[in-house]
Amino acid sequence: MELIFEIWERFDRSSAVEMSYSSNDFNLVLKKGTATGGCMEVSPVASFTPVKSESVAQVSDVTYVNAPIAGIFYRSPSPDEKPFVMIGDEVKTGQVLGIVEAMKMMNEVTSPIDGVIEAIIGTDNEMIDYDGALFAIAKKQG
């Protein structure tokens, strides 16, 4: 019995969360409070998480077009010209929607579907993250 208590006391003093012991005479299992789930929500960083894509995930039948690379997002081919697309425009698969400039390369961003521009999420002339959402396109019905 003394042995059990000695083990136990050591266990308490240690930061172990779980232990088991078995001998000819007995088995002993000890665990400390490691509950599961629920905790991540109050984590300090949950609050600074960029949740753009998630926050708009409720809208169904919408396809997001994301940046293929981190770079500067341009809505028009050159400063003097009109934007490639405006909200409400119908677009075809493969149609150029914008440009992301990175490492002196102009990377065209094209539409993956036929649809209507629902939202323009990227800001013209500003840095966009890799895989950051640029456009939301509503699927054309029927």
Partner 1 sequence: MFKRVLIANRGEIALRIIRALREMNIESVLIYSKADAKSIPVMAATKSICIGEAHAKDSYLDQDKIIDVALKCGCDGIHPGYGFLSENADFAKKCQENGITFIGPSPELIDMMGDKQTARDLMKKSNVPIVPGSDGLVETYEKAKSVAKEIGYPVLIKATAGGGGKGMRECFSEEELKNAYETAKSEAMNSFGNGEVYIEKLILNPKHIEIQIIADKYGNVVHLGERNCSIQRNHQKLVEESPDFTLTEEKRQIMGDTAIRAAKAAGYDSVGTIEFVVDSQQNFYFIEMNTRIQVEHPVTEMLTDVDLIKEQILVADGHKLSLKQEDINLNGYAMELRINAKGCGKVTCLHFPGGLGVRIESALFEGCEISPYYDSLLAKLIIHGKSRLEVIRRARRALEELIVEGVPTNVQEMYMLTYEPEFVLGSYNTSFWNKSEKTIKERTEKWTCSIS
First CA to last CA across the chain, in angstroms?
76
Provide the token pair at 74: 């341009």
Please answer whether residues 101 and 119 qualify as being in contact, where contact means their C-beta atoms are separated by less than 8 angstroms: no
Widest Cα–Cα separation across the chain: 87
Assess 130 for contact with a copy of itself (CB under 8 A). Answer: no
| Order of strands, sheet of 115-120, starting from the edge strand that comes earlier in the sequence | 62-66, 133-139, 115-120, 90-91
Give the interface with partner 1 as residue ranges (CB under 8 A): 7, 10-11, 13-20, 30, 34-36, 39-50, 69-72, 102-103, 127, 129-132
Please, what is the minimum distance in Å from the beta carbon of residue 113 to partner 1?
23
Nearer to partner 1, 7 or 62 (CB): 7
What dihedral angle (degrees, nearest 10) is formed by the CA atoms of 94, 122, 140, 95?
-20
Assess 123 for contact with a copy of itself (CB under 8 A). Answer: no
Assess 50 for contact with a copy of itself (CB under 8 A). Answer: no
Question: Which of a copy of itself, partner 1, none binds 3 (CB below 5-8 Å, type-dependent)?
Answer: a copy of itself
Please, what is the minimum distance in Å from the beta carbon of residue 69 to partner 1?
7
- Considering CB under 8 A, how many residues would be counted as binding a copy of itself? 39
Whose tokens are 């088991």? That residue is 20
